[in-house]
Amino acid sequence: MNFKQSEKLYQKGLENLVGAVNSPVRAFASVGGNPLFINKAKGAYIKDVDGNRYLDMVLSYGPMVLGHRHKKVEKNISKALKKGYSFGASTHAEIKLAKIVCDAFPGMDKVRFVNSGTEAVLSAIRLARAHTGKDKIIKFSGCYHGHMDAMLVAAGSGLATLSLPGSQGVPAQAVENTLIAEYNDLASVENHIEQHPDIAAVILEPVTGNMGVIEPSQAFIQGLRKLTKEKDILLICDEVMTGFRSKFGGAQEMLGIEADITCLGKVIGGGFPVGAYGARNEIMENVAPLGGMYQAGTLSGNPIAMAAGMSTLLELKKQNPYKKFDKIAEKIETILLDAGNKHGVDLTVNRFGSMISPFFAKENITNFTDAQKCDTKKFATFFWKMIENGVFLPPSQFESWFLCSALTHSDMRKFESAVDVSLAAVAEHH
């Protein structure tokens, strides 16, 4: 396998792009080497510019839940393309997609479409503040909610608990209303609530994907729902990653909870830039033009993106691949743990439907502190061996792997032999 064309494009890209990428997760910073450049994709497979073909477990970080270029989605997009690309006015497609989304999430009477998960979250937070008249937000260490200023705290370091910005260029004032709690630790939330009377909302990934896959304990998530209700604090479920992924109704359906505000993205656009936030009528009525909370977007509800999202969700509903996802994920867990045992490599596998994270660690991973104990050097070795054996994984220990409904049993055999070779290499090098 060679990467000559990718290497060439990378060097070229460095001239006019920042690090040759448009999102830092695409740089191979934590695994070493240079990023691969992709030419095209179909079904469960993706091809780079050198013609190397990989089983794709990145799936654009989640959106391509049906696999790439599903026939029906492609057809619907082509149809929409012939009618025009953007009108700056309402279309029927927006109403149809809104109905599908509101039906899937019982806590949503109304939805507003935006262009990314980041936008969904920043709007949801503004909405929570508008509705409650309070300013403070509780966020959990290790949860990622996009790149708005107030959420760029504790998307990482130990400084996190001090509410120091996690990025240069974020003023201290921008994060002074962000309080950091520990995932799966209800007491850390209670402490904040005791000390601060002005908390508008608690935001979380109801199942995390951005520090690897971590599920909330029932006691934690049910306790959080109860506590926020009692204290008139809104619960914001950021389901940008989990929405439609492991159940049609997202993590909320799986966990049996109902958020006050839900954020969506990724799958909802079927590969196009779509985000959304929604809530009960009484909350959404704060949003302009019904209310005084301003939020707008030139390309929001874009007709091509709506066509892609709608056909993706309709096809998902029809296929109902969620049981299949569970089975394949279970198989993947077995493959990983068996190979880990065989080669003497410690692994912990967390999974939630079609999201899977193998951690190079011995102990259970239940929060960000646990996740940080992983051996990222072992992951880097594993990552490159998997590439060489035709499996495309996210280039970070802390990103979830994703499954698509186009996967078959023979793909699993390919995966199994790649894992065997790659974990053998990890055992040999570390």
Q: Which residues have a catalytic role annotated? A: 144, 238, 266
Does residue 313 contact residue 244 with C-beta atoms inside 8 Å? yes
Binder to ligand PLP among 31, 114, 122, 241 (CB under 6 A)?
Answer: 241
Q: How many CB atoms lie within 10 A of CB 342?
A: 12
Q: Which residue, 169 or 197, is less far from ligand PLP as judged by CB?
A: 169
Residue with tokens 């055992």: 427
Q: What is the 3-state secondary structure (H, E, C) of 52-83?
A: CEEEECCHHHCCCCCCECCHHHHHHHHHHHCC
Q: Choose the binding region for ligand PLP from 203-211, 219-227, 229-237, 287-295 (rule: CB under 6 A).
A: 203-211
Cβ-based neighbours of 153, under 8 Å, separated by 6 or more: 139, 160, 163, 164, 165, 166, 175, 178, 180
Write each residue from 108 to 147 as x if it is in contact with ligand PLP (CB under 6 A), else as -, in one continuous string. --------xxx--x----------------------xxx-
Which of 111, 98, 71, 113 has its CA nearest to residue 315?
A: 71
Q: Choose the binding region for ligand PLP from 13-21, 88-96, 234-242, 249-257 (rule: CB under 6 A).
A: 234-242
Residue 196 sits at φ, ψ, to 5 deg, of -125, 120
Q: Which residue, 267 or 419, is less far from ligand PLP as judged by CB?
A: 267
The CB-of-237 to ligand PLP minimum distance in angstroms stands at 10
Residue nearest to ligand PLP (CB): 117
The Cα angle at residue 317 between residues 408 and 322, in degrees rounded to 5 = 45
DSSP 124: H
Does residue 395 contact residue 355 with C-beta atoms inside 8 Å? no
Q: Which residue, 43 or 62, is less far from ligand PLP as judged by CB?
A: 62
The CB-of-259 to ligand PLP minimum distance in angstroms stands at 13
Q: Which residue, 205 or 315, is less far from ligand PLP as judged by CB?
A: 205
The CB-of-265 to ligand PLP minimum distance in angstroms stands at 5
Q: Does 238 bind ligand PLP (CB under 6 A)?
A: yes
Q: How far is CA 170 from CA 91, 147, 148, 167, in A?
A: 37, 10, 9, 6
Write each residue from 364 to 403 as x if it is in contact with ligand PLP (CB under 6 A), else as -, in one continuous string. ----------------------------------------
Q: Which residue, 210 or 367, is less far from ligand PLP as judged by CB?
A: 210
The CB-of-64 to ligand PLP minimum distance in angstroms stands at 14
Binder to ligand PLP among 206, 265, 340, 353 (CB under 6 A)?
Answer: 265
Does residue 356 contact residue 401 with C-beta atoms inside 8 Å? yes
How many residues sit in the footprint of ligand PLP (CB under 6 A)? Answer: 15
Binder to ligand PLP among 142, 209, 271, 309 (CB under 6 A)?
Answer: 209
Does residue 392 contact residue 355 with C-beta atoms inside 8 Å? no
Q: Which residue, 93 or 241, is less far from ligand PLP as judged by CB?
A: 241
Which of 198, 268, 217, 279 has its CA nearest to residue 240?
A: 268
- Which strand (E) or helix (H) includes residue 355? strand 355-359
The CB-of-278 to ligand PLP minimum distance in angstroms stands at 15
The CB-of-118 to ligand PLP minimum distance in angstroms stands at 3
Residue type, position 4, single letter: K
The CB-of-70 to ligand PLP minimum distance in angstroms stands at 20
* 355-359 and 45-48 strand pairing: unpaired
The CB-of-26 to ligand PLP minimum distance in angstroms stands at 12
- Distance between CA atoms of 155 and 166, rounded to whole angstroms? 7
- Distance between CA atoms of 150 and 201, rounded to whole angstroms? 13
Residue with tokens 């040759």: 20
DSSP 121: H
Write each residue from 144 to 173 as x if it is in contact with ligand PLP (CB under 6 A), else as -, in one continuous string. xxx---------------------------
List of residues contacting ligand PLP (CB under 6 A): 116-118, 121, 144-146, 205, 209-210, 238, 240-241, 265, 275
